[in-house]
Chains A and B, each alone.
Chain A
Amino acid sequence: MSKKTKISPIFLGIALMLMVSFIWVMIKVFDFDSHGPFKKEVLTDFRGIDRPLESQAGMYYGLKEGNKYPETKNNPNSKRDLDSFYKNRAYLGAPPTIPHQIKTSMNGSFENCLHCHLNGGFAAEFEAYAPVTPHPEFTNCKQCHVPQRTTSLFKDINWHKPTTAKLGKSHLKGSPPTIPHSLQMRETCLSCHSGQGSIKAIRVTHPERVNCLQCHVSALEETPWERGQL
């Protein structure tokens, strides 16, 4: 009897500690404000850069909406179509120009762009959903993306935009279409192929499957640079 009463407080103490720590763990796990469990384990990309959760924004809107996802396919407010997509690129794969007004301020480059283009979401200013960048790890955006302040040319140029990529190319009837563009700088498929900011014609019907390259493979009509011995 005396033995039993002696152990009991220690046992209770340990149990209490376990319970407290369990509650703490549970709070931590459900603590979405800090994106606790995601930030550390999931979203460090292959470059070793902590990619913010929202870089996969398209997919997460889908998650929030659950099976309402297909509705975004018919987003009536979407102003983007394939014509506008090709219009602000010199060729397929060229960095697109900035098609909207921007402030000319100096610091615009390093943070402001990502305010919208990291997360996507509705930009009231332009009454449109912002497209999501497939490479948020590069933050000197205006290194490659520049605004257009005039439509005139300095001198005329003999430049015919190369033919655009063909959509819906499947090797067999009904087989998954192949990827008609290079994946360099565009490794995050869902940033362009899902979400409200994306172009209807290239939206995927099943973003929840995520592992796109499981079924869709590159099929480029080109000869890569064959390097000799490195």
Chain B
Amino acid sequence: MRPEDLTQIDRRDFIKNMAFASALLVAKGLVPGVLFADEQKLKNDQDLQWKKTPCRFCGVGCGLLVGIKDGKATAVKGDPDSPVNKGLCCVKGYHSIQVLYGKDRIKKAQVRKNGKMVEVPLGEALDLVAKKMKETIAKHGKDAVSIYGSGQWTIPDGYVASKFMKGAIGSNNLEANARLCMSSAVTGFMTTFGLDEPMGCYEDIDYADVFVLWGNNMAEMHPVLFSRMLDRKYKNKKVKIIDLATRTTRTSYAADKSILFKPQTDLAIANAICFEILRNGWENPEFIKNHCSFKTGKTNIGYGLEEKFNFKDEVKSSSLDEYKNFLKDYTPEKVENISGVPAKDIRYLASLYGDPQKKVTSFWCMGMNQHTRGTWINNLVYNIHLLVGKISTPGNGPFSLTGQPSACGTVREVGTLTHKLPHGVVTNKKDREMAAKIWKVPESNISPKPSHHTVSMFRALDRGEIKFMWIQVTNPMVTMPHLNRYREAAQKEDRFIVVSDIYPTPTTDIADVILPSALWIEREGMFGNSERRTQHFDQLVEPPGDAISDAWTMIEVAKRMGHGELFPWDKKNHIEKIWEEYRLFHAGKKHNMAPYQLLKERPGVRWPFVDGQETRWRYHAKYDPAAKGKGFDFYGKPDHKAWIFLRPFEEMPEPPDKDYPFILNTGRVIEHWHTGSMTRRIPVLHQAVPESYVELHPADAKRMMVRTGDKIKITSRRGSIIMKAQVNGRGRPQEGHVFVPFFDEKYLINDLTIDAYCPISKQPDYKKCAIKIEKV
């Protein structure tokens, strides 16, 4: 029966309908709230216990409630009290607990003996790791050992790694895979504002009138925030979502407008929007005068492809007039030629940003960060918000989303990167002194010179300068760009690779020692999400076999190397002790973290946590106790101003040419997370997307006479791969482009990608390299 049948209802039926409808109204009023409370009182017995945790997967950081029964995790629901997701999850979150129970979990330590991996007692493996580290340091120096971690490390894991490498061993060879995913966002924040991480929070979604998504397929990658945005749109019909991207995705279809541009030309588009704003006088002159200064940096900065590439930016002062002059190269008409975006669409975007009646939030993630000019494009989007003064207030803000559950919490805040310390950088004497004092080590222990960023670290492993690498919670033998080079590097004679992980992966395949890790709720820890929210989780289930947390593994190795006095905690309370020690680094109004007990109780707390209050919008005196005066105060910079950078458009490192006429873009699908080592073991997710594929534009497919399922050979200057085509699937690349999800270890697409990186952030670009394709 269809709704139109209702038109035939007679009068008597109508009165009945009305009666039911009003009854319905009453029911609807009764359902939420009131009766939920009774739910708790009417339980029969208590065998299913619900406990809180943040989700294990992406950087949104949804609050979950996990149902524990007979010592096993058996069910998940969204935590209705979590302000992040308000009770909603995505398919990965709902099934996340199944990742604990794959049959091939690594339960015992393994050591390579005569070329074969042999199970050994954990103590023996830890002895070997400590011995190898000590030997390598004695023979080749402390910079011959390295730890490569992850944005999936908990905060205590990262803190122990930093104290171990930088405080005890005295090497800056500590990196994390967040270099491959977030470092352009960091350098973007640092160059423009002087302090890392977003000024706003997720509540911006509930206030904004316009959302501009810069190369961000939020419907698949940050689905819970995307649903929150759709909710905002349904409640307020005037709300607009603009999808500005290089590929048509689910997000494009939900958006009010989809604008496609040529890869790399987002630089030109951002400048053109600024040109249009200034040409029309839509800027906020008072805000610019009081809160912005203009700067230039080096141009023609290269792509990091040379073996020992080195770059240091030189920042010089500029002015509004010079800026206006600089923007003359970026009229909408000129940029139409560069980007392929019609000038009227650029003007439309400028009008949205420029309309004083509209609150605008920009979102981005990998599209802008995995970019050989990643720092620049981050700067340029800030420029737009700064020109019109739409920043640091509810609904107004540039918002950089993260990909990993604790890329912010662990890698960025604890600072598990070569140049970082838990507070500040290694090059700053004051920061070193602070670390030395809290860690109780001599200041001379902490090396003042950054050593290797991620790509450089793997290159050093290849050259033989690094002999020992300990990889934790990440799968670089699937994710490194120009992968074949680094796979060979890791397998060379006299390289010693230790891998801490939960399942066999292509990275454990190249390991000399495999250590079993406790995963997520099998140990206690904290994650920090995109909106500066720190979330605590208790140990809820027992880890399998000999598995222990990475933090405790490193403490055990440190003890065996004679650094035990730096880690004087027992296993029972070490997380609390670590947290209270780590908090000392961030004391003060600009970054104060919440105390341990509070984190245990609340569904996460956003820093700066000052006088019992979370800070929702930084750099505005109304919301941020660290800001001085009455309005905006960009206290990250010495001049208390945000810096508008004059960053030009520069070409991609490997534009398509006659031999390699196509562009390869890589990324994710909603079902799989990163390299799929977890999500592929979850039946629902694997069965939804069992293998990777290459997406083609229908016109290219027609020309090549290719249909979905046909095999395609993709070749770049670095490697080639054969995989199945998908045409008119869930995404559609532009003509001349292809898209490949990277989760499938059977199809190592990163053998083809280029290891060019942003010279400022050192983050590689996975989104564009030249390839050719042929049907096989």
Contact = CB atoms under 8 A, between A and B. Distances in A.
Given A95-B91, A104-B729, A107-B253, A42 B48 contact: no
B16 to A, nearest CB: 6
Contact of A45 (B23, B28, B67): B28
B610 interface: no
A110 B22 CA distance: 30
Most buried by A among B26, B27, B254: B27
Contact of B7 (A32, A50, A162, A221): A32
A54 B94 CA distance: 28
A15 interface: no
Contacts of A146: 91, 670-671, 684-685, 688-689
B684 A97 contact: yes
A157 B43 contact: no
A149 B32 CA distance: 37
A157 B102 contact: yes
A63 B47 contact: no
B89 interface: yes
B98 A159 contact: yes
Given A119-B3, A157-B102, A219-B42, A59 B79 contact: no
Given A42-B22, A63-B20, A153 B683 contact: yes
B637 interface: no
A223 B47 CA distance: 7
A224 B66 CA distance: 10
B230 A139 contact: yes
A210 B38 contact: no
Interface stretch (B185-193, B218-226, B298-306, B446-454): B218-226
Contacts of A213: 27, 30-31, 35
A8 B81 CA distance: 66
B234 A144 contact: no
Interface string B10-23: 01011011101111
Contacts of B492: none
B731 interface: yes
A144 B94 contact: yes
Nearest to A52: B3
Contacts of B685: 146
A25 interface: no
Contacts of B611: none
A13 interface: no
B307 interface: no
B162 to A, nearest CB: 30
Given A140-B219, A146-B91, A230-B601, A223 B49 contact: yes
A46 interface: yes
A134 to B, nearest CB: 11
Given A54-B3, A106-B730, A119-B2, A91 B74 contact: yes
A188 to B, nearest CB: 8
A173 interface: no
B430 interface: no
A222 B325 CA distance: 67
Most buried by B among A50, A53, A158: A158
B23 A211 contact: yes
A93 interface: yes
Interface stretch (A16-24, A76-84, A178-186, A198-206): A178-186
B48 A221 contact: yes
Most buried by B among A95, A108, A121, A228: A95
Interface in A40-61: 41-42, 45-50, 53-54, 56, 59-61
B77 A157 contact: no
Contacts of B683: 90, 153, 157, 159
Interface in B51-108: 51-52, 65, 67, 69, 74-81, 87-91, 94-95, 98, 101-104
Contacts of A107: 250, 253
A91 B205 CA distance: 32
A204 B91 CA distance: 29
A137 B234 contact: yes
Contacts of A187: 31-32
A23 to B, nearest CB: 16
Interface in B675-731: 676, 680-690, 708, 726, 728-731
A33 interface: yes
Contact of B680 (A140, A148, A154): A154
B747 to A, nearest CB: 14
Given A90-B684, A104-B729, A157 B81 contact: no
Interface in A138-155: 138-140, 142-155
Interface in A66-124: 66, 90-95, 97, 104-110, 119, 121
Nearest to B745: A154
Interface size class of A (residues with CB under 8 A): 35 or more
B3 A53 contact: yes
A125 B671 CA distance: 27
B505 to A, nearest CB: 11
B103 A223 contact: no
B406 interface: no
A100 to B, nearest CB: 14
Contact of B688 (A33, A65, A149, A182): A149
A64 interface: yes
A148 B671 CA distance: 11
Contacts of A139: 227, 230, 234, 254
Contacts of A91: 74-75
A227 interface: yes
Interface string B473-492: 00000000000000000000
B265 to A, nearest CB: 23
B25 A42 contact: yes
B2 A60 contact: no
Contacts of B732: 106
Contacts of A147: 688
Contacts of B27: 210-213
A5 interface: no
Contact of A155 (B7, B26, B104): B104
Contact of A230 (B43, B78, B81): B81
Contacts of A14: none
A208 B20 contact: yes
Contact of A138 (B219, B227, B680): B227
A186 to B, nearest CB: 10
Contacts of A230: 81, 601-602
A225 interface: yes
A74 B686 CA distance: 37
B217 to A, nearest CB: 11
B776 interface: no
B659 interface: no
Contacts of B31: 46, 183, 187, 213
Contacts of A66: 13, 16
Contacts of B728: 104-106
Given A38-B21, A49-B234, A228-B600, A140 B78 contact: no
B658 interface: no
Contact of A221 (B13, B47, B52, B81): B47
Most buried by B among A41, A48, A159, A213: A159
Chain A to chain B: the 7 pairs with minimum beta-carbon distance, closest first? A228-B601, A222-B48, A146-B688, A107-B253, A218-B39, A143-B223, A156-B103
Given A142-B91, A159-B101, 10 more contacts: A48-B235, A105-B728, A146-B91, A148-B684, A155-B680, A158-B103, A162-B69, A221-B46, A221-B48, A227-B603
Interface of B: 1-7, 9, 11, 13-14, 16-18, 20-32, 35-36, 38-40, 42-52, 65, 67, 69, 74-81, 87-91, 94-95, 98, 101-104, 219, 223-224, 226-227, 230-231, 234-235, 248-250, 252-254, 503, 600-603, 670-671, 676, 680-690, 708, 726, 728-732
22 contacts: A60-B1, A64-B9, A90-B98, A104-B726, A104-B728, A105-B730, A109-B254, A138-B227, A140-B227, A144-B94, A149-B689, A158-B101, A159-B101, A183-B35, A208-B20, A213-B30, A218-B38, A218-B39, A220-B48, A221-B46, A225-B52, A227-B602
